[in-house]
Structure formats: structure tokens, C-alpha cells
Chain A
Amino acid sequence: MTAVHDDKPLGHGRMLRKEDPRFVRGRGRYVDDVRLPGMLHLAILRSPVAHARIVSVDTAAAEAHPKVRAVVTGAGLAEQGLAWMPTLSNDVQAVLATDKVRFQGQEVAFVVAEDHYAARDALELIDVEYDVLDPVVDARTALAEGAPVIRDDLEGKSDNHVFDWETGDEAATEAVFARADVVVTEDIVYPRVHPSPMETCGAVADFDPVEGRLTLWSTTQAPHAHRTLYAMVAGLPEHKIRVISPDIGGGFGNKVPIYPGYVCAIVASLVVGKPVKWMEDRSENLISTGFARDYVMRGEIAATRDGRILGIRTNVLADHGAFNAQAAPSKYPAGFFGVFTGSYDIEAAHARMTAVYTNKAPGGVAYACSFRITEAVYLVERIVDCLAHELEMDPVELRSRNLIRPEQFPYTTKTGWVYDSGDYEPTLREAMRIAGYDALREEQAEKRARGELMGIGVSFFTEAVGAGPRKNMDILGLGMADGCELRVHPTGKAVVRLSVQSQGQGHETTFAQIVAEEIGIPPDDIDVVHGDTDNTPFGLGTYGSRSTPVSGAAAVMVARKVRDKARIIASGMLEASVADLEWTKGAFAVKGDPERSVTIQEVALRAHGAGDLPDGIEGGLEAQVCYNPENLTYPHGAYVCVVDVDPGTAQVKVRRFVAVDDCGTRINPMIIEGQVHGGLADGVGMALMEMISFDEDGNCLGGSFMDYLLPTALEVPDWETGYTVTPSPHHPIGAKGVGESATVGSPPAVVNAVVDALKPFGVRHADMPLTPSRVWDAMRGRARPPF
């Protein structure tokens, strides 16, 4: 069904991905493919319980295993001052537990052995005695009087409070609520979910004691930031650390944090003097690595009777797990949740948030969420639908009346975010057109008359992607800017080196296209290098849809810098002044005399050749930049979901899904569509089946793909995509990010559709995941939050 959208893409448009031949032929090289001579294998012993004091750890039997080379416990690490490490949110996290275990799956000890099998066998020989403590599982009880204190490692800590945060104007919001015709309140839960990349996390650490040099292959979305943090944690000089992030089998935010396993692998290599591989298994990935969401939100919306939204406010309880290890810019403890006012021009807004510790795995920003915008958009798009329900107004009409108008951009929201550009109404109209919205509503009316349950859900989202600027945004003091380096070889081929790291996004193609567009060298002649700190400039990495907004801009700027130099060299070659040269993609020509021209390839040869160069010009044709974005970019989109619900079994079938995205200037429409398709599948998964749940003892009930369900091709429809183009005014080619748009925008569309289908039962809200059992409960008026 998907139409081919090739209007107005940049340059080479819908070219096939340069990296795909190696992936489709099994020639990708992932961390687990790294095999070094003498390499040993590390396995981690994890806590079987959620909360317990460690009484003793007996490693004697494991050490006696003939293939075991080292067994390390928390106590052992403590002797070296390595038992704790900083998190990306200025908390600390245990590398190996010393005093207590604080979540099921927490790292307790590790074994280094000659092979992976022996390492696993030896784990069973370690005898740990636990004194089990009451766990805090439900975030709503974390601050209750007498709740067990999880973080007694923190000096003076006597409760499970992590932080309070607020944004907006409380008094002004109260005032608009007081004079509103209609106020709607709804408790909305965004359950804990997991990014579940196909490749789990892992590392190969190779410490060379002679050179004092550490090489670390690891599954990271941010190799440079990790290198700096390892230097801080391990005390190794940064120039002696090389982090290589080879092909990465999906990240979705799961590979932003530094996990204890990476540090264990490094310590192991330091201890045994050999390369050491650690590769977690699926269950370890699911129970211990960065989860996402886990927000309990009360949403309130105030409006006039005729559907003018006046204000939105919310109170959020955020479950951060046992350690605050969320990856977000330092000044944004709630990530970018402040954009919860969505795409609407309203008068006032206010949010208050309390974050708590619980006996669950740490993390909190992951799963393609653009730093909590997924939660924010879900809240606003759900509460707007609740308002439409109360006003008995069509949800599209209600949105349409309140969208920010094009002449209002740049638009400053009531929580202080400056939306760079947008033209929302055409995007909404396009989605309605593709969906055939009016006909769908007619069909729905006919079906309802027959007792059939059909639902139509709409969402309209505005994303905020491409962090920094650096003055506002840093992670542990590292500014969120990105470097780029471009070198044109004598024969006119080029290499561009990025600070960001692809996990499947197609950087090797997109960035070649960007550079090709700017300097006229075909994309196939441009090699894209990334994921190796020794061979790329510094930058903060790929997450939060920031590669194209930040690093993509850096690639444009570096290419323009090279082109400027090429122009000077060309002026010498053509014996014409720089001002008299005209650039047509790939060549400089003398204005009015097109016969006199030189190609970029000829300029490259001259730059490296024996011939004369203009005065003051050095040989070579290369440049380096560090791009500091002046603002985030704000892509937007309108989504329509159509579902059918079986009245007898309460099963939900997603029949259609229309996604119209506006990500500004489009570079490779095929790659954009691929990103959108993946994000939509994510959204269907979260809306209908995904949830990491726990029992009352804190046991994780989502520890395998039998229990943690991801959608398959059978649960998703044939995606129908469309687009509009509203360029970013501050990005050098007008591009915005798109990687997470669909994950952000689709869950509310699906849930809105299911709730719409259940309208005959009087349902106004039901929480995700909308499994058949939970939908049946909702139909019977007993929708319960997923605790």
C-alpha cells in the first residue's frame, strides 16, 4: 500500500543502503564476532532476589574449577575502589554488589574462564548467602511511611526519594482551570517496557600491560562518551583507551548507559592480562539493562465547552529502579517530558514529578523515546481524546481547533520549549485523506449498529530531537555537540568520519548522501567511518534521534568547508577570481564561460599534486568541524489507527495504520520509511502486548521472549505512510530527526483506537498493554492499571 514518496528528497534520494550488502550476506561484524588470540570468557552471577543483604560469598569451589582463571566479587572490586561507578544521572551504581542486592538480576560476582561454557558452569559453584529483605515493588508505595530504604549506601538517605521536578506556571494553570467550562482528569499509566535489541549487550576488553593501552569493543551507541567515562572510572589515561563500536544489532537507547558488565570485562582483562569477552544472554538483557517508561501520570485538561483547550497539567510518579541510571541531559532529570503540551496552542501548563527508587532494574530512558517525549506525547494525546469523549466532539475536530498555527512559529510553549517550525494542519489533513476518515466513521456507525466493535484512533505529535545545544545540554559535563571530519583523497574519493554511531539507522548511506550533495562526489565514492574513537572526532553519539539534526549538520558544514577550499584551488586552476566561479554540483566553472571548468576530482588531485596552489593555501583537501546546534529540531506527524475488536474474545486486530510524518528536508525517503515502519511496530507492541511486570516479591516476570512479547508481522498491518515537508530553519539543510517519531506517535493512536472501539461500553480510558484479558476487563467496566 505504501506509495513511493520521492518528491523533494535531497540529492540521491531513495538509494539502496551502502551497508546492506554486508548485512544480507552475513558479513556484518558484531562484538560477539570479535575473537582474539588467548581470549577468555566472562559470565556474571546475578541476584535471584530483589532485595537482600549479602551475608557471605564463597567462591572457593568456583576457583577450583580447572578452566576458571579468576573469580571476582564485590568485595574484591571494593579493594580496588571499583565496586561503584557513576551513572549518567549523577547517581552511583554498584558494579558488583557489596552490601546489598537491590534488584533481581543485579550483578554479584563474575567468573573468567577458558570458555563460555565453563564460565557458566562455574557460576553455579559460587555460594552466596542472602538475608532477604522486604522489597519495594510498587512505586506508589515507595515513599510510604516505613517503606524499606533501598539506597542505604547513600549517606544520610532515609527514604526512596530520587528527585522532585516541576515545569510551567502552577498559578496561571490553576487560574485557567478555575474558569474552564470543562475539566477532565484521567489516571494514565505508561508501563515499564524494554527496548529488546536483537543483539544483547556485550564487550571484549583487551588490556595491553606493556603499552598500558585498553582496547574495548563494546555495544555502545556513544563510544566517545563511554571512553571519557571509562577514563574517569578506571583511572586510565584517556589517550590510552580506544573504544570500538562495530556493527550494532539495534540499540533503541538500550546501549547508551554504561553497564556493570562492560566494567567487569575491563577489570577482568586488567586482572588476568588477557582479552576477555562478556556477552549477556537474552534473559540478562531483559532483566538487568535499561528499561523504559514506568510513569504513573495523572493528566488534567481544561477547556471551553466549544473545544478550546485552555490548560494541561499533570502529576507524575516516576519509577527509576534501584539506581538512577537514566541517560538524559544533566539539567533535564525528567528528560524532555516538558513538551507535554503537545502540538496545541494553550494558555497555561504545569507539571510536577516525583521520582522514586524501587527494587527493580535501573535505567529509564530507552526505547526510542527521545528523552521521555514518548511519555509526554502519550499523556497529551490520551487526555485530549478523553476531553473529546466528554465534549462528545470528533477527536480530529478537537485537535484541529487547537493546533499551533503556522504563523506562530517559532512557537514558545507554556513550558518554555521553542518549536523551530511546523505547519500542522496540512499534515493532519493528509493523514485524514489517506485514511479516508469520513468513510471510516460511516463504516464504524454501520458496524456499531450491528454490534461490531471498530475503533478509529488519531494522534498528533510534536517531537523535540537533536540535543544540544551544548550550553543547555550535557551528559556528565560533556556538551552535546558533534564533530565531523572530511578528507578528500587525491583521486577524488572521500572519507567522512562521524562521532555518532549507527545501530541500524543507515548512517553509512545517509551521511554519504549529505556529503555527496554538498561536494558533488557520488555517494558510492564516499566512505563513512564511525564507531571507533581512535579514528573519529569526539561527539556524544546516537540516541534521541540526534544523528541527522546534529551530526548531519556537522557533515554539511564540514563539506562546505572543504568546498570553500576547493573553490580557492579551482580559482587558481582556472585563473579566475573566486567570485567569478559558479558551483554546479561536482564542478566549478567560470561564470559566463562554462567551457572553463574543473571537477571536484580534478581539484582534489591538484590539492595533493605537484602543481602550484594559490598563495597561502596548504596542500590537501580536508576539514574538521564541531557542530553545536542552536536549538532542537521539532518534527511532527499525524497518525490514524483503525482496529477491530472481537466482542466475544476481546482480541484487538490492528486493521490499518496511516502515518504522515514531517521531518523537514528528507534525505533518503526509503530509510525514513524504514525507520517509521520499525517505530510503528514498536508502538503496536507497547500498546497491545509489551510490559515488564513484577510479582509482589520483585521477581521480574518478563525475563524471556515467551513472557515479554514483541509484535510479529502477523500483529501489524501494511503500513500506509505519507509526508509533508517543513524544513528546520536552523539546520543547514533543513533536516530534522525522524528515528523515534513513530515510536513516540503510535502508542496513543493505537490506544485511542481501542478505546474508541469500546465506546459502546462507556469506556473513556484503558491502560496499556491492551491484551485481550485487559480489554475484556475494560468492556466490563473494570479497566485496571497494570500493576
Chain B
Amino acid sequence: MQVPAPFEYERATSVDHAIGLLDRLGESARLVAGGHSLLPMMKLRLTDLEYLIDINGLHDELGYIRVTSDEVRIGAMTRHRELLESAELAEVFPVFAEAERVIADPLVRNRGTLGGSLCQADPSEDLSAVCGALDAVCVLRGPGGGRTVPMTAFHLGPYETALGPGEMLVEVRLPVRPGGSSAFEKVERRAGDWAVAAVAAAVWLEDGRCTDAGLGLTAVGPHTVRVDGIAEALRGREPSEDLYARAGAIAAAACDPTTDGRGGAEYKRHLVEELTRRALRRAFVRTGRP
């Protein structure tokens, strides 16, 4: 059995309590939500944290999906399984349930959270691309109060976020506009594995023409939660195979994959192109006006 080095543990009873602890303990402290990234790292002794602040008690406060006509607000402690099973969310953003269906396995989905996924800032993580495609805004709270950061600015690089000292992610906000739909495409070597590559696509259609689009990529580079130039390329145009191919080419050019055990860089770039076309095709079909 792999066991972690000694650490101290405290269970937070409120967001304010958690922030207070973070503020007091400084960089030697880490929040643990679902723990499916942090605990394996601790067991492999890859972290040097001294304090673990358990925020699983905050699920009542931060576990929610609120859908209104112009916005969806999701609490940071909302579990994967809740995102998977929310019919309300799937109605507005089907990309969530599609991504969740292929994230890890039921054990991980029962524990893992939206906030934990985004804050881990692992380029191989799927929900970051989903939130990027949907133009999400991250709501942070810290000792000095709250602020918002767009998803595109939340990840500074692999495993690095815009969170300042004592700050925590409390909510993710997703703008809702009419005529939209979305889709998720992923290739993995095996069920439950991290993506070889994945694509989240969101599109908006009015009078048969695309009014806006967003595309997020997984596992193909450090800065791919939202691909630049996609909206510009699609806006004002009618959905077509040519259009999907053009978007695929933009995405393939924008990504920066590396060769590793999951696949060769060239293959991953090919996947980005292929999966972009598939995701856009399905997303447009879903708007009801392909």
C-alpha cells in the first residue's frame, strides 16, 4: 500500500472558514475536494503539503446547479455525477453530460468536483475545455473578498491557476443565449483513461447562420481551453462540412501536442482536426437547424 508522508488535516465548515485557514497556513496548505488527483500525488509523495483542508463539508453551500434564462451557475463543489445526471443542465449545455460520461469512472465521478477539476489545471482534464468552449467565468473568493476571472485567464499553465494566496474557486458561471447547442468528442485508449485528445464545441445559430462558437481542447497543449479564431471563422456562415473542416484546421494549427504513451504528436493533431469536425457537426445538428 502506498501511504503519504505525515500531514495535518482540518475539515472546513464554511467557505469563510476554508479561506481563513488558507490565509493563515499559506502555501503549505492545500484544499482537498474529491481528492482523486491530490491523494494519489500524496501517496506517491509527489507533493510537499503540510496541511490538508477538507472542503467536502461545503457541498451544501457550494454544490448546486442553478439554471436561469440567461445564465447557469454551478457551485465549485458540484460533483461530476451531479453534472452528469442534471437534466436541466443537459437541456442547456448537452456538452456537460457528454463529457462526464467519459470522465474517469463512477467512483471518481461520485467524489470529484467541478472546482477541483478546474483548479488542478491539468491540461488532460476535460471540464476545463468544456468551460472554455462555453465562455465560462470563474468566481473566486479570498480574504479580501470576491472577484471574477474568465476561464481563458484562469489557467496560467499546466497545474497553475490565477488563484491568489488564500483564494478559492467558489462558482462557475456560464452565459446562456438562445439558439445554442454543444457537443463533446474524446478519444481514449481505454474507458477511464485520460484523453488522448478531446474537443468541446459550443455553437449558436440564428436564421440558419452561425452567430457564435467556442472550442476547447483537452490534452493537446498547455493553453487550449479555448481556441482563438474559431468564432471569427464561423460567424455569419451556414453550417457545412467545409466549415467544420476549416474549424478543424484552425484547431489543429492552434494545438501543441507532445508525443507520449497516449500517442504521437502528429496523431493527436490529426485527432483534434477530426474531433473538431465531429463535435461541430453534432452541435449544429442539435440546434435543430443544421
* A-to-B contact residues, CB < 8 Å: 116-117, 120-121, 124, 279, 281-283, 648-651, 689, 693, 701, 706-707, 709, 711-712, 714-715, 771-773, 776-777
Contact = CB atoms under 8 A, between A and B. Distances in A.
B282 interface: no
A691 to B, nearest CB: 8
Given A772-B196, A773-B262, A124 B191 contact: no
29 contacts: A116-B1, A117-B3, A117-B6, A121-B5, A124-B45, A281-B1, A282-B2, A283-B2, A283-B44, A648-B278, A649-B187, A649-B274, A649-B275, A651-B187, A693-B261, A706-B193, A707-B261, A709-B190, A709-B193, A711-B190, A712-B190, A715-B191, A771-B189, A771-B262, A771-B263, A772-B267, A773-B267, A773-B268, A776-B263
Which one of B6, B192, B267, B278 has the greatest number of beta carbons of chain A within 10 Å?
B267
B193 A648 contact: no
Contact of B190 (A283, A715, A777): A715
Contacts of A648: 274, 278
B178 interface: no
Given A649-B275, A706-B194, A771-B262, 17 more contacts: A116-B1, A116-B3, A117-B3, A124-B45, A281-B2, A649-B274, A650-B267, A651-B187, A693-B261, A709-B189, A711-B190, A714-B191, A715-B191, A772-B196, A773-B267, A776-B267, A777-B267
Interface of B: 1-3, 5-6, 44-45, 187, 189-194, 196, 261-264, 267-268, 270-271, 274-275, 278
Which one of B45, B189, B193, B275 has the greatest number of beta carbons of chain A within 10 Å?
B189
A277 to B, nearest CB: 11
Contacts of B192: 712
Contacts of B278: 648
Contacts of B196: 772-773
A337 to B, nearest CB: 29
Nearest to B267: A773
A473 B105 CA distance: 46
B187 A124 contact: no
Nearest to A701: B261
A45 to B, nearest CB: 13
A281 B45 CA distance: 13
Nearest 9 pairs between A and B by C-beta?
A: A773-B263, A714-B191, A773-B267, A281-B2, A648-B274, A776-B267, A709-B190, A649-B187, A712-B191
A503 B192 CA distance: 27
Nearest to A123: B45
Contacts of B44: 283
Contacts of B264: 773, 776-777
B112 to A, nearest CB: 15
A772 B263 contact: yes
A117 B4 CA distance: 8
Nearest to B264: A773
Nearest to A119: B3
Which one of A283, A689, A709, A711 has the greatest number of beta carbons of chain B within 10 Å?
A709
Which one of A651, A707, A715, A771 has the greatest number of beta carbons of chain B within 10 Å?
A771
A715 B105 CA distance: 14
Nearest to B193: A709
A124 B3 CA distance: 12
B267 A124 contact: no
Contacts of A712: 190-192
A208 to B, nearest CB: 27
Contacts of B6: 117, 121
A649 B268 CA distance: 10
A98 B150 CA distance: 56
A689 B261 CA distance: 10
Contacts of A120: 3
A773 B259 CA distance: 10
Contacts of A650: 267
A276 to B, nearest CB: 16
A711 B191 CA distance: 8
Contacts of A124: 5, 45
Contacts of A283: 2, 44
A773 B274 CA distance: 13
Nearest to B6: A121
A651 B274 CA distance: 12
Which one of A279, A283, A648, A689 has the greatest number of beta carbons of chain B within 10 Å?
A648
Contacts of B3: 116-117, 120
B107 to A, nearest CB: 12
A618 B124 CA distance: 74
B244 to A, nearest CB: 12
A772 B6 CA distance: 41
Contacts of A651: 187
B271 A649 contact: yes
B50 to A, nearest CB: 14
Contacts of A282: 2
Contacts of A707: 261
A651 B275 CA distance: 13
Contacts of A776: 263-264, 267, 270
Which one of A120, A283, A693 has the greatest number of beta carbons of chain B within 10 Å?
A120
A696 to B, nearest CB: 13
A649 B263 CA distance: 12
A712 B137 CA distance: 36
A648 B245 CA distance: 13
A121 B2 CA distance: 11
Contacts of B263: 771-773, 776
A282 B278 CA distance: 38
